Amino acid sequence: MNNKYKILVIEDDVNIRTLVSTMLEANGYQAILAETCSAARIMYDSYVPDLIILDLGLPDADGMELLKYVRCASLTPIIVLSARTDERDKVLALDLGANDYVTKPFGEGELLARVRASLRNSRHSSDEGRLPGGRFSLGDLIIDYDARRVFLCDSEIKLTQTEYNILAYLSEHCGKMLTYSAIIKAVWGGHTEEGSIKKLQVNMANIRKKLGIKPGEAKYIINELGVGYRMDG
């Protein structure tokens, strides 16, 4: 019986398609391949993959169309793998429901780490509906959701209500890249304005400082400039 994770790779460039599928197969995943949006729809419907790696520049349609198609049907994690580096493309893809965005050229280790994080995240959110009780842990960081307390290496980190709400929201979506507007909406319930992004950045800087993360260090909270934040080890 085949119980490997099935990953649908949608990519028209044969070199990248081969590279990604070889890398996935070598790491214990089953790769299913599609070169076009229309082939991808058929593959998606018939294989029900556990994760999708999606190129945006496809011959028959924009990959964003496939993103919308899948999101109408399911929460299957989607990692966009694209040569488009513009912040607006990243934000659009994430707002349409992509879990993460990796730009080409990419490092194999980096892509595999994002795959693992997205699969972890989807297993976590399959418990949706359950109250976020219990605990969250990532490395030395522990969040006690019931008590709304945060610990690092067993000592308590004192956060403000807002700082806690931001950190808890990121942890509930660990591994997923969240846009500024998604975080602001979850924490303040308001619209995305320049002022609220500033407010978010100030709070995030304080959280990072309290967690002992040095400027520029990619630990616990990863900042994608101009796009958003992702919690990860």
Min CB(16)–Ca ion separation in Å: 8
Please identify, using beta-carbon distances, which residue of 84 and 230 lies nearer to Ca ion. Answer: 84
Please identify, using beta-carbon distances, which residue of 15 and 161 lies nearer to Ca ion. Answer: 15
Min CB(103)–Ca ion separation in Å: 13
Cβ-based neighbour number of residue 36 at 10 Å: 15
Min CB(36)–Ca ion separation in Å: 10
Min CB(48)–Ca ion separation in Å: 24
Query: Taking a C-beta distance cutoff of 8 angstroms, is the pair 32, 50 a contact?
Result: no
Please identify, using beta-carbon distances, which residue of 56 and 150 lies nearer to Ca ion. Answer: 56
Min CB(32)–Ca ion separation in Å: 17
Cα atoms in the 13 Å half-sphere on the side-chain side of 57? 8
- What residues line the site for Ca ion (CB under 5 A)? 12, 55, 57
Could you give the CA distance from residue 199 to residue 149 in angstroms, rounded to a whole number?
Answer: 22
Please identify, using beta-carbon distances, which residue of 55 and 100 lies nearer to Ca ion. Answer: 55
**If we measure between CA atoms, which residue out of 95, 90, 106 comes closest to residue 56?**
90
Cβ-based neighbour number of residue 190 at 10 Å: 12
Please identify, using beta-carbon distances, which residue of 35 and 232 lies nearer to Ca ion. Answer: 35
Q: Which two tokens stand for residue 2?
A: 């085949």
